[in-house]
Amino acid sequence: MPVLKMLSRQNLSFGHTLDYITRDTAGGLSKPVLHNLRSPYTHKEGIVDEFLSNEAYRKVTSGRVYYYHSILSLGEGDKEHVTPEMMQEIAKKYLQLRGDIIAVAVPHFDTNSPHIHVLESGTRYRENKSSGLRKQELHQLKIEMEAFVKEQFPELEHSQVEHGKGKAYLREPEFQLQKRTGTSERKQLKTLVHEAYGTATSKQDFLDKLLDQGYIHYERNADGVPTGVISESGRKYRFTSLGLAPENIQLLINPQERSQEDQLLKQLRLIRQNTNPKNLER
């Protein structure tokens, strides 16, 4: 199966994530797959409004997850075998298994590992219920995706994984990198992180610079502070291990970012006040 990472987000930056996963430089060879959305994929404002309206079904609380940014990555050895049609089918199966959520899935072909970015609602479709998965539910999702890929696309042999056998030592891609260049991924990433931090004009700009290099941030606490980044291989690196304190990242937040977040929160509260979700037609 593809390597699956589900990253929770405790902010309302649906639009920014949507812009990123649908960007032109992502090697877009197939259209986004929409799930429980009425707006066309070309109408981003409409999609963001639908995400906001869906979140209004759940009470606004501190530290809640507003959405998930998930990534399904295939093995590098499968790049020459995978097609846009295959990626569409894999995305559709994933969304089918995720069930009653709203989501946008976009296949990307701009790296050595073809992958699918998924913007998923943090609230189930028009329900006052979180869309998060328990550990066992996530494990079952991975097993079912693996079975689907094996059955439908047996030629993608490099995208099969064994469950529960991760190891803490240096992985093969990092070993080969160190063998060729004498520099481990961690050392290169540390340099990249500090260069990005030194030139960033905002917190989001800093995270975008890392994203452009294939590193997506993850959050471990309910405060929305970035904990670290995940590489394409699925390896996690804490910012503290790279010499950067998370609180220093928060210092990059500029007034415009705070204003945008405040406006979205206000909009979300107004939707809750002015709309009774139980009276909406599904």
pLDDT digits (tens, 9 = 90+) for 209-255: 898 887 889 987 767 789 999 876 678 899 999 999 988 998 888 77
pLDDT recorded at residue 267: 76
pLDDT recorded at residue 280: 45
Most confident residue range from 77-86, 109-118, 187-196: 187-196
CB 69: neighbour CB atoms within 10 A?
Answer: 21
CA distance 220 to 237: 12
pLDDT recorded at residue 124: 96
pLDDT recorded at residue 25: 55
Of residues 268 and 208, more confidently modeled: 208
Closest to 41 (Cα-Cα) out of 27, 16, 22: 22
What values do phi and psi take at 126, rounded to 5? 55, 40
- Range list of β-strands (E), the chain: 3-9, 33-35, 67-73, 103-108, 115-121, 216-218, 228-230, 236-238
pLDDT recorded at residue 276: 52
**Arithmetic mean of pLDDT over the chain:** 82
Percent of the chain with pLDDT over 90: 42
Of residues 170 and 249, more confidently modeled: 249
Of residues 267 and 282, more confidently modeled: 267
Helix or strand holding residue 65 (H, E)? none
Q: Tens digit of pLDDT for each residue in 61-78? A: 777 899 999 988 887 778
> Is CATH 3.30.930.30 what the domain over 1-164+258-282 is classified as, yes or no?
yes
Q: pLDDT band for position 162 (50/70/90)?
A: very low
Of residues 183 and 75, more confidently modeled: 75
| pLDDT of residue 282 exceeding 60 | no
Question: Does the predicted model carry a pTM greater than 0.85?
Answer: no
Check residue 214 and give left, alpha or beta (phi > 0: left; psi -120 to 50: alpha): left
pLDDT recorded at residue 269: 77
Amino acid at 101: I
At 167, is the secondary structure helix, strand, or coil?
Answer: coil
pLDDT recorded at residue 3: 81
Any idea where the domains of the chain sit in the sequence?
1-164+258-282, 167-251
CB 242 within 8 A of CB 193: yes
